[in-house]
């Protein structure tokens, strides 16, 4: 079975504090997009697992969430799997590429084995692999709370063009959390207003409320991020924001020609860019 692992975008990201166990308490609005990886998943009857991760620098063992998902799902069945990834989602971009691949493996194996797990059960299974995996299983749009595992489905973003651009550097998520923890005052996204705008199908309303608190703690080394945001806005985006812990930035466009022009211009300056659209919730 060939299945698409859709990329994830954060329309908003807020840090509410820390939980007693040391994790950060998050509140995010997330949306999946059509752009993503393709995974070819085949069952084996000898219990062996193989993975072609699609890039030479990516691990092909249990450190890769796709193979971890397959091993957990098939544990005790005597079955194995061959997985081949056509990798498109940029690595270390804040787009949940590894989690999306794991979620796609779970959806594929659920069908191939005939286990017929419900979406809710599959999301709970995905939580054993990573905090972002449940959202990547369900896709569409959702309010994510806690570590990202507490999900409230939302109407997906109304159809629009989305330009995503990743500068040529990665971000350290732990470092961003440390910087954020040391910040005494913080602007916060209007999460309730953003949810209302999604429910109303109001793209400009969503765009006005997109906000990522990690952008407050960027330093001069990450100056390409505000530069890309400014370029997207100058070229007609209704709003632009960094996704997750970065370093990818995206802009929403209601004008198709402006989106195409922005994609063409940014592609000439940055290697990892794409033009895509929001996608609806997945089906089990």
Catalytic residues: 8, 132
DSSP E strands in the chain: the ranges are 2-18, 24-44, 49-52, 80-86, 141-146, 150-154, 161-166, 211-212, 239-242, 249-253, 272-276
Report yes or no: 102 and 55 within 8 Å, Cβ to Cβ: no
Q: How far apart are alpha carbons 145 and 157 in whole angstroms?
A: 19
Phi, psi of 60 (to 5 degrees): -115, 15
In three-state secondary structure terms, 27 is strand
Residues 6+ apart with CB under 8 A from 168: 224, 270, 271, 272
Under 8 Å between Cβ of 266 and 224: no
Facing residues of 5 across strands? 37
Using DSSP's 3-state secondary structure scheme, residue 36 falls into strand
């Amino acid at each position: 079975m060939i299945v698409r692992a859709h990329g994830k975008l954060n329309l908003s990201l807020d840090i509410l504090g820390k939980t007693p166990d040391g994790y950060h308490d998050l509140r995010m609005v997330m949306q999946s997009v059509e752009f993503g990886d393709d995974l070819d998943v085949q069952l084996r009857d000898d219990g062996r697992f193989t993975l072609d991760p699609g890039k030479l620098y990516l691990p092909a063992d249990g450190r890769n969430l796709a193979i971890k998902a397959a091993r957990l799902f098939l544990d005790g069945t005597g079955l194995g799997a061959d997985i081949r990834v056509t990798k498109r989602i940029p690595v270390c971009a804040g787009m949940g590429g590894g989690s999306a691949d794991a979620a796609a493996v779970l959806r594929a194996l659920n069908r191939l084995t005939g286990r017929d797990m419900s979406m809710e059960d599959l999301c709970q299974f995905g939580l054993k692999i990573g905090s972002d995996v449940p959202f990547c299983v369900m896709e569409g749009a959702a309010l994510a709370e806690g570590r990202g595992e507490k999900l409230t489905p939302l109407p997906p973003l109304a159809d629009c063009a989305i330009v995503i651009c990743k500068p040529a550097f990665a971000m350290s998520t732990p470092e961003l959390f440390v910087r954020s923890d040391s910040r005494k005052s913080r602007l916060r996204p209007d999460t309730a207003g953003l949810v209302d705008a999604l429910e109303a199908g109001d793209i400009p309303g969503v765009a006005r409320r997109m906000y990522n608190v990690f952008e407050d703690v960027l330093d001069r080394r990450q100056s390409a991020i505000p530069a890309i945001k400014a370029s997207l806005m100058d070229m007609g985006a209704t709003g632009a924001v960094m996704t997750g812990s970065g370093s990818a930035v995206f802009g929403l466009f209601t004008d198709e020609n402006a989106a195409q022009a922005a994609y063409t211009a940014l592609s000439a300056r940055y290697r990892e860019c794409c033009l895509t659209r929001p996608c609806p919730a997945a089906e089990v």
